[in-house]
Structure 1
C-alpha cells in the first residue's frame, strides 16, 4: 500500500472532503435551479407564461446549464467517494466553466447597475419624489431630501451588491482550486502506485536439482553363521 500525503485546504481539511462537500452543494443548488427552470419552460410552452425573446433564451440557457452542472456535480461526488480521477477532473473543469460564466455575467450586471439600469432607477425615484412633493409646503426641501435618499440608497445598495458578488466569486474560485488540488493528489497516488509496482524485485526462479538415487543392498546376516 502506497501512502501519499493528503493535500489540505483551510489549513487542516483534506481536499477530498472539500470536493465531497462542493459536489453535494452543487447537486442541491444546480438541481434547484434546473427544476425551477424546466418548470418555467413547461409553463412557457403551454402558453401560460409570457416572456420576451431574450428572456426565453436566458431561461433555456439557465435550465440546460444548471442541469449539466447538477449532473456533473453528481459525477464529482462519485469520483470523490471512489477516488476516480477522471470524474473529479471532469467536475473540476465544469465548475471552472461555470465560475467563468458567473464572473462574466456578474461584471455585466454590475456595469448595468452603475451605468445603465441603475441610473434609470435613480431617475425614476427622483421623478416619483418630485411628483409626490408637488403642492406641499416647502416642497423644494422635501424634494432635495428625497433626491438625496434616492441617490444614497442606490449607492449603498450597489456597493453591497458588488461586495456580495466579489465574495461569491472568491468562494467559487477557491472551490475550483480545491477540486484541481484533489485531481493533483489523485495523480500523485496513481504515479506512486505505478512506481511501487515497477520497483518491486522480480521473483527469482529457484531450480531444484534432483539428487541421484543410491541403491543400498541389505547386508547378509552373518550372526550365528558357522564355518
Structure 2
C-alpha cells in the first residue's frame, strides 16, 4: 500500500494537506481582500497594475478553501470519482495561482520602487535609502512565500492524485496491466509421423491371396476373422495400419524384389 511521508497512509496525507490548504487559503484570502479594499490607506501604495495583479492573485487564493472543503467531503466518502474531481480542481487552482502570482511578481519588480518608496519618504518614516532597502526586502519575502506555497501545493496535489488513483483502481474502474501470459487450454496432440509405422498401402482391384479384402462397407475382413476398421483416426490426422487380430499373422506386403535363395525363416517359403 502506498505511504505518505514514509509511514503514514495516503488517506492521512490527504486529510493533512486538505486541512493545511484550507487554513492558509482562508488566511491568504482574508489578507488579500483586505489589502485590495484598503490599498490606498496602507504604506504599500500599490500602483494600478499591482492592484489588478493582487486582485487576480487573491481570486486564486479564494478558490483554495472552497476546493478543499469539497475535497474533505470526498475523502470522507472515499468516492473515487469525487477524489478524481478534487485532484483535478487542485491542479487547476495551482495553475491559476502560478499564473496570477507570476503576473503579480512581474508587476512588483517592473519598477524600482513603485509608490512604496515615495510614500515612505513623504511621510518622514525614513530616508529614501532605508525605504528602498525595506521595499527590496519586502519583494524578496513575497517571492519566497510564493515559492514555498507552490512547492507545498505540488506535494499535496501529488498525494491527492495518488490516493484518488488508488481508490479508483480498487473500485475496479482502473485498467490493470499484468505481464503474465493469458491462460491457454490444452493444445492439440501432435504425433510425429517419423516415429509412427507407415500406413498400409491402398488396395486397387482384387486383393491378392493372404491379404485383407475390403467389403462393401469399406472394412477389411481377414480370412476367417471379423471385419476390422480400414483405418484408425489419430489426434494428428494420421491413419494407422489396420488392426491385426491376436493369433493371426500380419499380411505380407508386395515388394519389387525377391528374397535371396539362401534366406531362412517363415517368409522364405512364401518367396515370390
- Structure-2-length-normalised TM-score: 0.46
Shift of 1:20: 1.9
Q: Kindly state the Cα deviation for residue 162 of structure 1 after the two structures are TM-superposed.
A: 0.8
- Cα distance between partner residues in 1 of 2:119 and 2:109: 15
| Distance change >3 Å, CA 11–CA 103, structure 1 → 2 | same
Larger RCO, structure (CA 8 Å, separation 6 or more)? 1
CA-CA distance at 1:192 after TM superposition: 9.8
What is the aligned counterpart of 2:15 among 14, 20, 24? 20
- Confirm whether residue 100 of structure 1 aligns to residue 99 of structure 2: no
Q: 1:77 maps to what in 2?
A: 72
Q: Name the residue aligned to 1:120.
A: 114
Is the 2:87–2:160 Cα contact (8 Å) retained in structure 1? yes
Report the CA distance shift for 1:123/1:174 in structure 2 as closer, same or farther (over 3 A). Answer: same
Q: Distance in 2 between matches of 1:64 and 1:168?
A: 13
Look up the SS of the partner of 1:120 in the other structure: coil
1:86 to 61, 81, 89: 81
* CA RMSD of superposed structures (Å): 4.1
Structure 2: any 5+ residue segments left out of the alignment?
A: 37-47, 177-272
| 1:128-167 to 2 correspondences below 5 Å | 128=122, 146-167=127-148
Q: Which stretches in structure 1 are left out of the alignment for 5+ residues?
A: 41-51, 133-144, 196-227
User: CA offset at residue 171 of structure 1?
Assistant: 0.7
For residues 70 and 124 of structure 1, do their structure 2 counterparts lie closer, same or farther at Cα, with a shift above 3 Å needed? closer
TM norm structure 1: 0.54
Query: For residues 90 and 126 of structure 1, do their structure 2 counterparts lie closer, same or farther at Cα, with a shift above 3 Å needed?
Result: closer
What CA distance in whole angstroms lies between the structure 2 residues aligned with 1:109 and 1:147? 24
Range moving further from structure 2, 150-159 or 22-31: 22-31
- 1:40-70 CA deviation, whole Å, 9 max, x = no partner? 9xxxxxxxxxxx9xx89x979967984x654
Q: Give the direction of change, closer, same or farther, for the CA distance of 1:88–1:159 in structure 2 (3 Å limit).
A: same
